[in-house]
Structure 1
Amino acid sequence: MRSEVVRVLEFVAQIDGIDDADALAEDLKVRLEPFGVSCLSANLIHVPGQPINPRVLVGERWREWGRHYVRNAYWEDDPAVKQLLGSARPFAWSEALAEYRTRGAEAVMGACFEHTGCREGFVVPVRDTDGAVLTGAFSGPAMDLCPEVRGALYLAGTYFVLRGREIVDGFNPPLPSPLSPRQAECLRWVRAGKTDAEIGVLLGISARTVHNHLEKAKGLLNTPKRAVAASEAWERGWLA
């Protein structure tokens, strides 16, 4: 077994002793650099009964890319999201694109390359005890994804995500939300790509009322666009 793989297994054995989210990410990143991993994150993708709302828990947040992703509702065409919801097995970005190749999927991956500089990634799906769908995501300009490395990434990614969520839930509770329940509901559906009229139908209110709720939410969050307001509120834990 390669010494670099052994170092990853050593990390897994020690992970329960790490209590800081930044230290968790940095320690794992150093051990994965020999495989071409330059960025990594633990992500909450979906909670049962709620719209799909990807959120970074630990690691690289790519704030500009995240906002661009939300503004363009890329989750609708993202081949990685489709692969994630269709299979419990880990996969490479290139494999997801090959499986779900469309013009929209190619546009999503092209935009990802442009914004992050990463041309390949490896995604580890994780289901938590509450039914939540999470992922460990590893990426870089080029990656070694031989079978031995994939196995190490699979194991490390699973432990990384579960320990990351424990740390975040235990040590970083969300600040009190300034949003009303109705404003939060409207923002949740904005993240799902719904229009004012569609949100109005879902909530049993007029499109004008939806618009007013969103305008007030934008003012409370000091953001010029509703998609940005929805992203900010989600990142702060106010839409979960």
Structure 2
Amino acid sequence: MIPADEVRRIRTAATFGSTRAQVLLGQICIDGNGVPRSRTEGRRWFEKAAAAGSVEGINMLGRCHEFGWGGPVDPVKAAECYRHAALRGYDWAQFNLAGLLHEGQGVLRDRRQACAWYLRAARQGHAKAANMLGHYREEGWLHRPRPRSAFFWYARAARGGDFRGQFNLARLLFAAGSREPALIWLDRAIEGGIPDFWADIAPVLSAHPDPSLRRYGRRASMLAAAGGSAGASQPPPSAR
């Protein structure tokens, strides 16, 4: 929980035109972190930052359109916001635009373009984008599956701190017989995960013949049961 005096400091800076403070305050309002939750107010602060040209603000306004924070869901406008910020080089917007292109939400489904945007974000160090590139290589969504390339991108995502990338790297390591490194990465993945992730992996691990993985499955199941629903917001890097 953000202390009240820190919220006041951020609010003052936002009121005097700091776009970084406006984005931070918008996120605080969306999350209800130290203030009563208000997605309408959060959206207003993102709009102010976006109007001033902040790529973080534009990206977060896209999130408002995508998820209906403080207004209706509008994936077309979300894609417009993401593309605007993505073309200016903002990695989170590149990642979010790639997600819409991958699923065909607000734009025509185009996995070639999605992969290209994931690559641009990953080259800037965006760990979640690197994890998605691992999926593209492993699943063969554009070309034939490329296991070595998948391993490379999952490892990059894992080292960047993405818990899904850590889990996927652990999967490949375990399958290759590198049991101890796999368990280290699996432990990190579960430690840094969120309830939706724990709920997804719990049945897979719990049904595994290896007793160590079954223990991780029980741990993930307990965490999911205790953690409630995962938050839908995406904090800017400065608020992570």
Bucket of the pairwise TM-score, normalised by the shorter protein? under 0.3
Report 1 or 2 for greater relative contact order, CA contacts < 8 Å, sequence distance ≥ 6: 1
More strand by share: 1
More helix by share: 2
TM-score, normalization by structure 2: 0.26
